[in-house]
Amino acid sequence: MLEILYFCSAFICGFIVFQCRLPPLIGFLAAGFILHSLGYRATELLHNSASLGVTLLLFSIGLKLQVKTLTKFYVWAPSSLHLVLSSCIFSALVMLLARFSLPLFVDLNLETALLIGFAFSFSSTVFAVKVLEQRGEMASFHGKLSIGILVMQDLFAVVFLAISTGQIPNFWSLGILILLPVLRPIMYLILDRSKHGELLPLFGFFFSLLIGYQLFEFAGLKGDLGVLIVGMLFAPHKKSAELAKSLLSFKDLMLVGFFLSIGLNATLSIEVLSAAVILVMILPIKVLLYYLLTNLFKLRARTSLLNAFTLSNYSEFGLIVCALAASNDWVSNQWLAVVGIALSLSFIIATPLNTNANFIYARYENWLCKFESKQRLSIERPVELGNAQVLIFGMGRIGTGAYETLSQHYPNAVTGVDINQQSIDQHLQQHRTVILADATDPDFWQSINHSKVQVVLLAMSKHVQNLLALEQLQASGFQGKVSAIAFYPDQQKELEELGVDSTYNFYRAAGSGFAEHVTETLS
């Protein structure tokens, strides 16, 4: 089967790229281009795998998205303005290039230029979510902002496709939108009764593919939007995080097919490569617009920068728009290859930007802050540590357990720090002292006074987060003890080499903790 060759090639290229400290998805894209140059093409099974991966991705986004996020002024306003402004700017540049009689651009008219400008104004949901997940920042403020903007773009895409394809919602659409919230208690009951085994991921497949995608397509609505909405219905449930985790491996594997198919569908030529490179060269305009518009709505310079870097790419939606235009003979089929290559190149450029985002902000902080609004949103105002002697970064299961134990030794002197407001609200209900802050944020360390702090525990779920926090902690001149969790021996070694006083191997220590618990119980 060709698919075996495709996925083996993806592994080899992904492995090589990963050794260069770059995300494997760049290797998957490269594998697609290499296979295409050797005469291979995407198969129907690969296309189905890619579609399934995107569907599961949208469902996972919905599981982590709160509806109230989209109603925030600083989400829908910059998103809408960016779409309009970037579409106009990109369309004008395309028309200018047509005036110079450049290949592929010369045949475009005003209508097709507007269409291409609209397609390139979108950012990739797949790339953004992968980057945020790898950095453990899905629950951060700038992560939620990026996802909110992407969801707003998806809503614009639904409207465009409905108008351009003539696919008008039918009689059933209103009933489905009304019925789903009514049936939510029953859906919650089914989720509870699915427990924790193999039924849980199957539950995700059933509700994302059948109830979400197929039901909305039947009603004349975009299936991708349906998957997102159904995921959002489950977001408030206590098992939503566990459900998302159960689908993680399936989603990641299927998305390999998505990245492979982009490269396999791109027919390379000098004209196509030239057009793609030109479009990538104007990508900084799009990134700058994201930064300036979010700053305009009172967001901090760092939040605006990280959001702009997360969205500093072109979207797979451009492929959909160009496929539609090509099918109607509005543009040549070569534009599909142009979009595919420009999309791939934008991913390659955006990867190091996101990897080094904190370093770039720290280096250019003074200049970036010139564009920052003098007023701050309440969620981004500086925090106070009070009388804290112990700081715990990451209030998940490990951090919470550490908080309970240390509170007995340091009464009223332990403070937890987390980036998830929903998690903090739950801790506050349990009368724990927890504040909202990002441990990887240089501004946080500059704004606090940690002279009273004796011990810092780095208990965040992603190893890279603990490393970045340790770097900021050391740069701030902290003189106390630092302890950090790790999941593998090589991570422990890396932390110890960087100066951590003690490390805690979560998996190895879990057995010791269980044995101690049994000993205490028996005695």
CA–CA distance, 94 with 116 (Å, rounded to integer): 8
Report percent pLDDT > 70 for the chain. Answer: 92
DSSP-assigned beta bridge partners for residue 486: 505
- The first and second tokens of residue 267, run together, are 């027919």
Vertex 60 angle, CA 54 and 61, to 5°: 90
> Alpha-carbon torsion 153, 83, 115, 31, what sign?
negative
Q: What is the pLDDT of residue 88?
A: 92
pLDDT of residue 520: 57
State how far the Cα of 224 lies from the Cα of 55, in Å rounded to an integer: 7
Between CA 186 and CA 204 the distance in angstroms is 15
Regions of the chain where pLDDT drops below 50 = 517
Q: Which CATH number fits domain 382-522: 1.25.40.340, 3.30.1780.10, 3.40.50.720, 3.40.50.880?
A: 3.40.50.720
Q: Pick from 290, 466, 451: which is nearest to 386 by CA? A: 451
Structure tokens at 49: 């795998």
Q: What is the pLDDT of residue 258?
A: 80
Side chain identity at residue 443, one-letter code: D
Intrachain domains 2-371 and 382-522 with the same fold: no
Angle in degrees, CA 370, 379, 155, rounded to 5: 90
Domain boundaries, the chain: 2-371, 382-522
- Residue 220, Ramachandran bin (φ over 0: left; ψ between -120 and 50: alpha; else beta): left
Pairing of strands 455-458, 434-436: unpaired
Pairing of strands 455-458, 390-393: parallel
Topology adopted by domain 2-371 = Na+/H+ antiporter like fold (1.20.1530)
Q: Could you give the angle at the alpha carbon of 492 between the alpha carbons of 489 and 494, nearest 5°?
A: 110
The span from the CA of 98 to the CA of 113, in Å, is 9
- Report how far residue 138's alpha carbon sits from residue 64's, in angstroms, rounded to the nearest whole number: 8
Integer Cα distance of 256 and 23 in angstroms? 12
Alpha-carbon gap, residue 38 to 33, rounded angstroms: 9
Q: Measured between alpha carbons, how far is 322 from 342 in angstroms, rounded to an integer?
A: 13
Are 120 and 279 in contact, with CB atoms under 8 Å apart?
yes
* pLDDT tens digits along 372-404: 777 777 777 777 777 788 888 888 888 888 888
Q: What totals of helices (H) and strands (E) does the chain contain, helices first?
A: 26, 6
pTM (2 d.p.) = 0.73
Contact 13, 34 (CB under 8 A): yes
Q: What is the pLDDT of residue 308?
A: 93
> What is the separation, in whole angstroms, between the first and last Cα of the chain?
60
User: Using an 8 Å Cβ cutoff, are 82 and 293 in contact?
Assistant: yes
Q: Residue 436 corresponds to which amino acid? A: L
Cβ atoms of residues 314 and 123 within 8 Å: yes
Which amino acid belongs to residue 166?
G
Q: What is the pLDDT of residue 286?
A: 93
User: For residue 128, what pLDDT is reported?
Assistant: 87
The helix/strand/coil state of 482 is strand
| 393 bridge partner residues | 417, 458
**3-class secondary structure, 414:** strand
Task: Look at residues 469, 463, 424 and name the one whose alpha carbon lies nearest to residue 448.
Answer: 469
- CB of 459 closer than 8 Å to CB of 402: yes
Task: Name residue 485's beta-bridge partners.
Answer: 504
Please count the other Cβ atoms lying within 10 Å of the Cβ belonging to residue 325.
21
